[in-house]
Every structure is written in C-alpha cells, then in structure tokens.
Amino acid sequence: MSTATALDEKTGNTVVPLDSYDLRILQALRRIIRAVDIHSYKLASQHKITGPQLACLLAIQEKGPLTGGNLARAVYLSPSTIVGIVDRLEEKGLVLRQRSRTDRRQVQLSITDEGRQLIAEAPSLLQDTLAQALTALPESEQVSITLALEKLVDLMEARHIEASPLLETGSLTSEP
C-alpha cells in the first residue's frame, strides 16, 4: 500500500493514492468532521444557537408542548443533557417552561414567538440535509453505507462510545 501523497497544483488539496485506503478513509472522516464544524460554527455565530438547541426547538415546535423526557426521546439525547439545553433556550427567550395543569409534577416546554422566528431564519440542521440526501438513495446504498460505517466503528473499537444521532461538535463540557 502506498502512503505517499502529493498536492494537486490546481486546487492545492492533498491527493491520496487510490490504493491508500486507510488514508482515504481518514481523509473522508476529516471532511465529515469539518463539515459538521463549519455548520456548527455558522449556527453559533449567525444565529446564537447550537445544533442540539436547534434540534430541540424544532422538536418542540413540531410536536407541541413536550415534557423534558419526551423531548429527550424525540431528539435522542439524555434527559440530563436536555436540562442544560432547555435552560439555555429559556434564557434566550426561545422556550417557556410551564407546569401542567392536570399533573403539577410535569413541566411542559413550549416554543415562544422568538423561537419560531429563529427557526424561520436559521438554516436547516446538517442532519436534515443528510437525511434528505440519504432517503433519495436506493435502499441498497443506504444499507451499504450504514453497514460500512458501523464496521468502521467496530474496527476503531468505538462501539462503547455513547453518541446520539444528532451531529454536534465543540466542547464536551460546555455549550454556548
């Protein structure tokens, strides 16, 4: 296997030999990570919201008032993660927390007019774009991509790493 790389004189991009599968895979992963980073940066800088915050806001708008637990299930995040996200959304005036009238133990989350306006102005989530592109593929290609990525996870011995289907990057300890 060849590991020598060269620069494309026209684009300045690194050209990886076709038979360097390990380098091609790493380059593809870096491009995916970079695409998520760029999209996350755009959301944060232009709209002052993170991908997970936007996903939660979209779920609340779509499914109506939700409890924190129902929101966590809707966006595939843990209830403890949802608490922090909802705190920030509430601080920004994008959601309201209200006690249920029928069961005072339940807190309902609803979207504000400011939240609806932000959704109207913000770009779609990167995973929305990906989901639409994937559904346009034949099922056999969807299966092939899924199995290949799951195999890559196994090869990296990363199956034990917790990961929601939401794409996000940034600090593991804080959220803007």
Q: Rounded CA gap, 122 and 135, in Å? A: 23
pLDDT at res. 5:
59
Going by the DSSP 8-state scheme, the letter that residue 6 receives in this structure is E
Q: ∠ CA 126-73-59 to the nearest 5 degrees? A: 50
Structural domain boundaries in the chain: 15-155
- Please state the rounded mean pLDDT for residues 52-72: 93
Residue predicted with more confidence, 5 or 68: 68
Among 27-31, 57-61, 76-80, 124-128, top mean pLDDT goes to 57-61
The lowest-confidence range among 5-9, 15-19, 94-98, 99-103 is 5-9
Tens of pLDDT, residues 73-132:
999 889 999 999 999 999 999 999 998 788 888 899 999 999 999 999 988 777 778 888
Instruction: Give the distance from CA 115 to its chain's centroid.
Output: 19
pLDDT band at 69 (very low <50, low <70, confident <90, very high): very high
pLDDT at res. 120:
92
CATH architecture classification, 15-155:
Orthogonal Bundle (1.10)
The answer on pLDDT for 175 being more than 80 is: no
- Please state the rounded mean pLDDT for residues 11-24: 80
- Reduced to 3 states (helix: H, G, I; strand: E, B; else coil), residue 111 is strand
List, in order, residues 6 or more apart from 99 with CB less than 8 Å away: 106, 107, 108
Which structure tokens are listed for 157?
């011995």
pLDDT band at 159 (very low <50, low <70, confident <90, very high): confident
Distances (CA, A) of 102 to 15, 107, 108: 63, 11, 11
The answer on pLDDT for 164 being more than 70 is: no
Residue predicted with more confidence, 36 or 88: 88
Q: What is the pTM of this model?
A: 0.69
State the amino acid at position 63 in one-letter form.
K
Q: Rounded CA gap, 129 and 104, in Å? A: 39
List, in order, residues 6 or more apart from 2 with CB less than 8 Å away: 17, 19, 20
Helices (H), the chain: 21-47, 51-63, 68-75, 79-91, 113-121, 126-135, 139-155
